[in-house]
Amino acid sequence: MGKRLMKGNEAAVHGALMGGCTHFFGYPITPASEIAQAAAFYFTSAGRVFMQAESEVSVINMLYGAASAGARVMTASSGPGIALMGEGLSYLAGARLPSVVIDMQRAGPGLGNIWPEQSDYNMVIKGGGHGNYSNLVLAPSSAQEMFDFTRKAFTLADQYRMTVFILSDAYIGQMMEPVEISGPVLHGTRKDWAVYGDAASRPNLISSIYMNPPLQRKHNELLQDLYRQLEREQVDYQDIQTEDADLVFIAYGISARICLSTVHALREKGVKVGLMRPKTLFPFPKERIRELAEQGKTLAVVELSSGMMADDVELHVRGRTTVLRYLTMGGETPTVQELIANVERDLMVRSGGLSNV
């Protein structure tokens, strides 16, 4: 308890313990390996369960089994491992089983490299497995938020009976920052739908198969109702100096950190820029994006991908304003100086020459 200096990866493990997680199943992969390593130590020290599986496919099915029995379950991996979990994630969604999964993104496709990217966006936000399902996706941008978001993820998973993803990146996982570890442990309660192996839960059945088209349709409609409920109740974002901004960055994770430094630097030069940082990527803060567009602000999406989130921003803007794309791939990140140059160039072009640029 109290404030400690730690990596974002380790902070997530402390958040899981404080969130009442009972079982961690993992398989090591850079840049997420410290999560499994820390869980192996802290979970067993706290009397919780840690198990290393022989593959990511085994991991996700262990989550399925333990969640069916009412446990609060978690794993962590990176892009190649999350891809292998795709089928199991679909099964979890179909059976409405709560779980928490951390994706510490690295560059791809294929093995790529161990440096940060944000190219798992479509796989995680759109659903990497088959079927009409979604995950609740939280996007931390600091070690403190790795703790905070992971801690609350287990309550959200139980509340909505679904998988909650922590979508982060290699820099957020590897950087060391002060983290305040506080608050009560959020233990779970007995679930009336789970199979505990006792008389009370004997009638319960956990399955994702409906061998009847009308029942399958009804189940899918129930899931879509749940996702619409999420959009009403769980959208979260942070606005930073957007009120008078001519240009607003939209970014998450390490990209948001770089954008924030760029905002400060440009404000010192008299250029009015701001930042809107989504804290939830599903549900996406589309209403706020529409509001910014209707106010006539230029939007600049900064992400470490080919423009996956930018596509969603464009979809919700619907031509109301210009959407700029500042994209970096391969494990590289943009510098503050590069973003300053891009903004000054693009605002100059759009205004025909701004006196303060």
DSSP for 18-59, written as a single string = HTT--EEEE---TTSHHHHHHHHHHHHHTT-EEEE-SSHHHH
**CA gap 263, 245 in Å, rounded:** 10
CA within 13 Å, CB half, 235: 12
What's the pTM? 0.96
**CA gap 191, 203 in Å, rounded:** 13
Domain limits of the chain?
A: 2-233, 238-351
Domain 238-351 of CATH type 3.40.50.920: yes
Q: 267: closest CA among 238, 295, 240, 303?
A: 240
Sign of CA dihedral 218, 223, 227, 229: positive
Q: Provide CB contacts within 8 A for 192, sequence distance 6+.
A: none
The SS3 assignment for 113 reads coil
CA within 13 Å, CB half, 11: 31
Would you say 218 and 257 are in contact if contact means Cβ atoms under 8 Å apart? no
Domain 2-233: top CATH class: alpha beta
DSSP code per residue over 221-258: HHHHHHHHHHHHH---EEEES-TT-SEEEE--HHHHHH
Would you say 246 and 349 are in contact if contact means Cβ atoms under 8 Å apart? no
Beta-bridge mates of residue 104: 168
Whether 2-233 shares its CATH topology with 238-351 is answered: yes
| Token pair for 63 | 């989550």
pLDDT per residue, tens digit, the chain (357 aa), is 799 999 999 999 999 999 999 999 999 999 999 999 999 999 999 999 999 999 999 999 999 999 999 999 999 999 999 999 999 999 999 999 999 999 999 999 999 999 999 999 999 999 889 999 999 999 999 999 999 999 999 999 999 999 999 999 999 999 999 999 999 999 999 999 999 999 999 999 999 999 999 999 999 999 999 999 999 999 999 999 999 999 999 999 999 999 999 999 999 999 999 999 999 999 999 999 999 999 999 999 999 999 999 999 999 999 999 999 999 999 999 999 999 999 999 988 766 654 444
Burial of 77 (0-12, 13-18, 19+ CB in 10 A): buried
